[in-house]
Structure 1
Amino acid sequence: MSVTTESVAETAWAFFDACETGRGWEECSSYCRPDATFAAQAEPLAEMRTLQEYADWMKGMLGLMPDGSYTVKSFAVDPERNNVCVYAVFTGTHTGEGGPMPPTGKGTSSDYVYAMEFDDGRISHMTKVWNAGWALRQLGWTG
């Protein structure tokens, strides 16, 4: 399989959109290695080790915030390091049932970055950079 900068960009974009719109691992898996790993220095995500866990967590988050959406601020492909970084802002309002408490009706506008590493044209690892505390306070989930 020939891996090009364009194909990596297309794969990264397709994964990002599927994940951020809550389609879960079932759809996201086709863009990733089956053993794709995950890391984040954000409290709700700190114990997650697989990209599958994260994709399914995002699916759950979209259940809590059915109006959730994203705005991409930057999309960069680094062919020398075989990675793609996406900087975006997630917005959503907690109106869905489930989660840490009943719906608060409060919203968040939260900046974050996906740093996706590629192996043979598929995502092998992703790190999410996110200030979770900020988002959780905005949603009324913490003090």
Structure 2
Amino acid sequence: MSTMEIAGAFFEACEAGKGWDACRGHCAPDATFTAQAGALADVKTLQQYTEWMKGILAVLTDGTYELKAFAEDRERGQVCAFATFIGTHKAGGPVPPTGRTTRTDYVYVMQFRGGKITHMTKVWNDGYALKELGWA
């Protein structure tokens, strides 16, 4: 598989909330994760992030995404995905279901080495999303 195919397969599995079991084959076992978002402050590994996504889709049960751009920077070993996540708070969560919907933009920057994702950065304004959902 090409880097773009690996990144695409990872992105689809992660965004569908399939968790680490479905994502691990595309990643180094010790793949790291960063985001400058309070909601993800304790998430340090890509395994933790894929499980976080699995959990958020149990709360935003209709969660989906619109992929806006997907690009590879071969020189730097990076693949970037820009999308909008759409989800309505219908079950569980930090407060009783609000019935409110978020449309929140985000970017994944996936770093590759040896045909595997070794690190991912998520660029996301979590405060905006939490406010739209009525959680903040």
TM-score interval w.r.t. the shorter chain? over 0.9
Please, which runs of 5 or more residues in structure 2 have no aligned partner? none
Q: 1:96 and 1:21 mapped to 2: Cα distance?
A: 17
State the TM-score, normalized to the length of structure 2: 0.98
Of 48, 57, 62, which residue of structure 2 is paired with 1:67?
Answer: 62
1:25 matched to which residue of 2? 20
1:36 aligns with 2:27: no
Deviations 1:102-140 (A, max 9, x none): 111000000000000001011000000000000000000
Q: How many residues align?
A: 136
1:115 aligns with 2:123: no
Q: 2:89 and 2:12 mapped to 1: Cα distance?
A: 20
Please, which runs of 5 or more residues in structure 1 have no aligned partner? 1-5
Shift of the alpha carbon at 1:39? 0.2
State the TM-score, normalized to the length of structure 1: 0.93
* CA RMSD in angstroms, aligned pairs only: 0.8
Q: 2:9 and 2:91 mapped to 1: Cα distance?
A: 26
Once the two structures are aligned, what percentage of the paired residues are identical?
57
Deviations 1:30-80 (A, max 9, x none): 110000000000001122110000000000000001110000111010100
